[in-house]
Structure 1
Amino acid sequence: MTQREWLDRDFYAALGVPSTASAEEIKKAYRTLARELHPDANPHNTQVGERFKAVSEAYAVLSDPAKRKDYDRTRRLFRSGAFARTGFPPEAGTTAARAGSGGFDFGDLFGSRSPFTVGDPLGGVGDVLGDLFRRAGTRAESARPRRGSDVETETRLSFREAVAGMVLPLRVSGPMVCTSCHGSGSRPETRQRTCPHCHGVGTRNRNQGGLGFGESCDDCRGTGSIVDSPCPDCQGAGIGDRARTISVHVPPGVSDGQRVRLPAQGEPGLAGAPSGDLYVTVRVDPDPVFARSGDDLTVTVPVSFAELALGTVLSVPTLDGQVSVKIPPGTQSERTFRLRGRGVTHRGAAVGDLLVTVEVAVPPELDHEAAEALRAYARAEETSGFDPRAGWAGKR
């Protein structure tokens, strides 16, 4: 691929995504097209094979953050016409292309007399192009084993399940290592062989105009290996979609929105590379009795005025059953009592407390006898000199 061909390629259009696409959108588009256009699935369609090659080349650039950044910056320069005065190499075969040495030196373009050496609005254009074409001449990263992608999913637990912890069976579906060929892509009892044309590198290098360019090997399609007998179950991909059930160990005290990591349970790696990780986000349903504040449990107990005024012993729920809490006479409404070690156990370390708040419950209706008794109490309260609003809002 020549310099001009490289820059004229629209890698975003090849993948069918906008230039603002996220890394995840680019990966998703590539996977969809790769399954559809894979040569093993279209053995007699050469046009599909060329399209597969173009998609692979586009993904090799756009999936690498550094390459994508250089590609975007360089294309912005060319679209703006910034190279019109630089003598950028003409198309191959023209008179200008045959003149002189027939090559092109980016050092001339960005040398001391270049208009881009001063006031470059994008900064370091020479470095960008230098890095761009140096990378193009190196060995293809697609031939190297690549770790599988991480996968995320969600599960929902009750409040008490999250506090206590549990082993949760979780059913997931997605790409997995083919169980027939164990990821090799070859039919069982057969093996891949190193590509004799690229010697396992996955690319072929060629020089043009003093620059080295790496092109994906046509024989092995950039993998570095040739599968003579593809696995019939995965068509040589080494990966297939299937469902599976895995056990998720949810630790005690997990909170809503917390993620549990399962190493090597994500998507399988390429060419024998490690699998990615599986991240399970835990959603916790609220409890009708308990709430949570860090590692402390909170509970509000409704009480009567008489219980607070005279004192009582309350039976209070905990995660392990009922406990007794002594309420001294004259306790104010909304006072909180702390029960040590009755809260949440967090990762087997310190245990939180249970915070019990008492709150007066006012009866919505009173019968005649209760109303008369309450009026008699109000008169006695007034005679004793008790004023509930004494000292409130400046009152004396």
Structure 2
Amino acid sequence: MATRRSFLGTASAVGAATLLTNGQAFAAEDATALAAVTEREARDSILAVNAGMRSHYAALKAELIKQLSPVMVVQNDNKGGRFTLIHGGKQEAVQPVSEIFEMAKSIAHVPLGIFSVLAAYLGEKVPNVPNAARIDPHDLAMVSMKTGTGWITPLLEYQKTLGVAKGNLKDAALPAGLTKSCDELLNKANIFIDAAVKTKTFDMKSYQDFAKAAFANVGINMEHASAAQIAGVQALLKKWRAQIGEAAWADLYVGVLSQWTTSVLNQNTIIIKPHMNAKKVDTHLIDFPTTSPPADPVFTVLDNIARIVQDNIAAELVFVSDTVIANALKGKQDLLSTEILEQLEKPLSAASATPAAFATTGAAAMTCPVTGRTVAQV
């Protein structure tokens, strides 16, 4: 059977030229040639077009990464953040926040530490608390997977850790107000643990009473942690701004890596924002929520910023006839979202209708951030 290659290969030079310039003749003969191609081969040849695009896109991005400057990479961590400045082909990494930040937060986390020991043994205790209506019973059932008194040993071990910290507070050179707050919080935790271990039981009322009593101390500790972070980060920003100059600083890109659970109103993002070019901060200060710290945080941020930068240029030059799609490519909106929103505005067919058990009236609507189109959720 003839294939496209054998068909064209056996044609004379003149004949081939005629076929390639005569649409009707070529279409008729080519139909026979294409019949020898399997559906999988045909589809793969179509998919190869996108694979080629992605290959060239990746090559452009790899070269662009080398040109990115200035860029600041912020890795949020337990120490207040690791900051890396990329400028003029050089990198400088600094951990600018005082250790006061980490120590203040460490003691503030004691109520959560105790909860984490007890959580798996909550059982049917939670439904009796005043705010039970705010708790998803299915979530609670998944967290509370154990019964018995298996919580006693780990709680006693944690209590020993708290005791050592309490005994060493006076030698840690903390501010007086922070020392006092930490001491009070640790005392309250010790009283709760002693009572629970003595009776070999606990209830949510006693835990919540402890948590409420400790809340004022948690607040004091967070004040000290925040002050330490602000002072450290602001001092570094001032230093780096003077170091690279106002012209470069005006074009600074900042990528902040954080876990999804802390990615909104992220502390370092809040501190950095007022120090950036007001005209560019909305596009140049970028939060990258992650599930866990990447193996190479600096490369991860540079790779994503390179994608953003080249998409910004592509958006205006490729989609010159459609600013809506151009804006989508320049932002976080998927290019198909506008079309999907338009199609979802049409009545659902019986086959695709949402099951009645999950349908709600007056459900929240989904609005496209670029076009403003709104589709009611079902």
Same fold flag (TM > 0.5): no
Q: What is the TM-score of this pair, normalised by structure 2?
A: 0.23
The structure whose residues are more often helix, as a share, is 2
Which structure has more RCO (C-alpha within 8 Å, separation ≥ 6)?
2
The structure whose residues are more often strand, as a share, is 1
